[in-house]
Structure 1
Amino acid sequence: MDASIDDSKAPLIEHLIELRQRLLWALAAFAVAFGVCIFFADEIFGLLVKPLTAAFPPGEGKLIYTKLYEAFFVEIKVALFAAFFVSFPVISNQLWAFVAPGLYAKEKRAFLPFLIATPILFMAGAALAYYIVMPTAFRFFVGFEGEVGGMTQEALPAMGDYLSLVMQFILAFGVCFQLPVLLLLLNRAGLVTRDQLKGIRRYMIVAAFALAAILTPPDVVSQLMLGIPLIMLYEISLAIMWFTDRKKAAMETE
């Protein structure tokens, strides 16, 4: 067999071995985080329930489960959900350690701010959902309790449905808050320019509210609370591009 073929395969095998090792470390971190989170699943779920508790009058409100196994699987889902966030620093570090050796020093410096901004923006979106959007939306939903046609109308949310709604809120806001990272990466790669993004501003406003309508429950309050921040993040991205373009132009004229 030609020796050059063997030499060409060696780096690929080495990369695959390293990738497997990185994945094993990431899975190990997730497994350890899951083991810890399942032990504290009740406390974690208690934190997730607080926005709903605040929506009810003091001492009122309850969560129910209509299937015997529902409460058990809610704890599993809570532990999985929390374990991902706890282990994310290790997972992202393993990803960076695998990718970084293939980048030039200039590329590392350019990419590192985006790597740092991603979890910060996600947490900002999740915090907005947890502290502002969910309490506001839940008070709106609970406000429909009362007498209707001589019958009592009462909110009795199921544990599984409530957890799914909370996860939907947190993930929707966390992912959508990655918009500046996406736009700035596209701009840095030369795929879009600031002028192009300015030209489609009106379409992006429509798209922001359309996306909010898809990702949030079908109430106007939640949709506005996601759509408006998306528009603000879009404008912030344009402002950052304006600043970086000016800085680049100044460096080129020196």
Structure 2
Amino acid sequence: MSGSEESFISHLIELRSRLMKAALVVIVVFLCLMPWAGTIYDYLALPMMQSLPQGSKMIATGVITPFLIPVKVTMLVAFIIALPWVLYQMWAFVAPGLYAHEKKLIAPLVISSSVLFIAGVAFCYFFVFGVIFHFINNFAPQSISVAPDIDSYFGFVMTMFIAFGLTFEVPVVVIVLVRMGLVSVEKLRQMRPYVIVGAFVVAAVVTPPDVMSQMLLAVPLCLLFEIGLLLAPMFARITRAPAESESL
């Protein structure tokens, strides 16, 4: 067996080890949280329940849905709790093969992207849901009894979490584009009108059809784009390789 083949196999073994360590912690956290799966789902449903008329409840139309949905929610919470450990395993796998200036590039991006995604989810849960659900339930005609299905609610919540989590990644995307030399900060500033229009188009697609919820997604997207423009030059300067610094 050649040296390159041995190196490839050793990398696969190392990757498997890191994935197993990450998955093991997620499973352990999940098992620890399972006794409170119902309570965890109640917290997820709280923004909707606060918007419904007093005494109203959600419904479950599937046979195993009352069990399956809380389990899915608990698994997602377990993954979020274990995320620092999962990210550490990712970092431990790739770090040995990176140069010093590359480590300066990767580590802040991994940490900041995780923090921004969680911030987007938190913003959606604590602020956006209350506005959206209050609007929808007040808009419903009096002849309609609002009783959301927990499966549909779970799907809607996950869609919104992903939409806002990815939206909050905009500064990271801008920084990476500038650092890789794919586009300059000046060019991105010239594209600002198109970015604003695109933000409202994205918001119109992924949010309910009301102006308020669309604004709650589009405005943060535009602000985060501006933050990315401010941070990109500084980040590119800090993570510049020695050869790049000498050529300037």
**TM exceeding 0.5:** yes
% of aligned pairs identical? 38
* 1:49 partner letter: A
- State the Cα distance separating 1:232 from its structure 2 match: 0.4
Residue aligning to 2:2: 6
Residue aligning to 2:133: 138
* 1:140 partner letter: F
TM, length-normalised to structure 1: 0.88
* 1:95 partner letter: M
Q: Distance in 2 between matches of 1:242 and 1:87?
A: 32
Q: Distance in 1 between matches of 2:221 and 2:152?
A: 26
Deviations 1:38-66 (A, max 9, x none): 22211111111111122134x33211112
Residue aligning to 1:60: 55
Contact persistence 2:116–2:165 (CA under 8 A): yes
Residue aligning to 1:69: 64
Residue aligning to 1:229: 220
- State the Cα distance separating 1:219 from its structure 2 match: 2.8
Q: Distance in 2 between matches of 1:37 and 1:158?
A: 24
Residue aligning to 2:41: 45
- State the Cα distance separating 1:97 from its structure 2 match: 0.4
Match runs of 1:95-244 below 5 Å: 95-147=90-142, 152-243=143-234
Shifted more, 168-177 versus 222-231: the winner is 168-177
1:84 to 2:79 alignment:
yes
- State the Cα distance separating 1:224 from its structure 2 match: 1.3
- State the Cα distance separating 1:242 from its structure 2 match: 4.9
Q: Distance in 2 between matches of 1:20 and 1:30?
A: 15
Aligned match for 1:19, one of 15, 19, 27: 15
- State the Cα distance separating 1:229 from its structure 2 match: 0.3
Number of equivalences: 244
Contact persistence 2:179–2:236 (CA under 8 A): no
- Bigger radius of gyration, 1 or 2? 1
* 2:67 partner letter: F
Contact persistence 1:144–1:153 (CA under 8 A): no
Q: Distance in 1 between matches of 2:56 and 2:192?
A: 43
For structure 2, the 5+ residue unaligned runs are 240-244
Q: Distance in 2 between matches of 1:145 and 1:6?
A: 69
SS at match of 1:197: helix
Q: Distance in 1 between matches of 2:236 and 2:195?
A: 22
Change (3 A) 1:145 1:108: same
Contact persistence 1:134–1:169 (CA under 8 A): no
TM, length-normalised to structure 2: 0.90
Q: Distance in 2 between matches of 1:146 and 1:215?
A: 24
- State the Cα distance separating 1:146 from its structure 2 match: 4.5
Shifted more, 215-224 versus 231-240: the winner is 215-224
Deviations 1:120-158 (A, max 9, x none): 1112111110111000000001103453xxxx2221111
Residue aligning to 2:30: 34
Q: Distance in 1 between matches of 2:238 and 2:43?
A: 44
Deviations 1:77-124 (A, max 9, x none): 112221221221111111110011111112112222212211211121
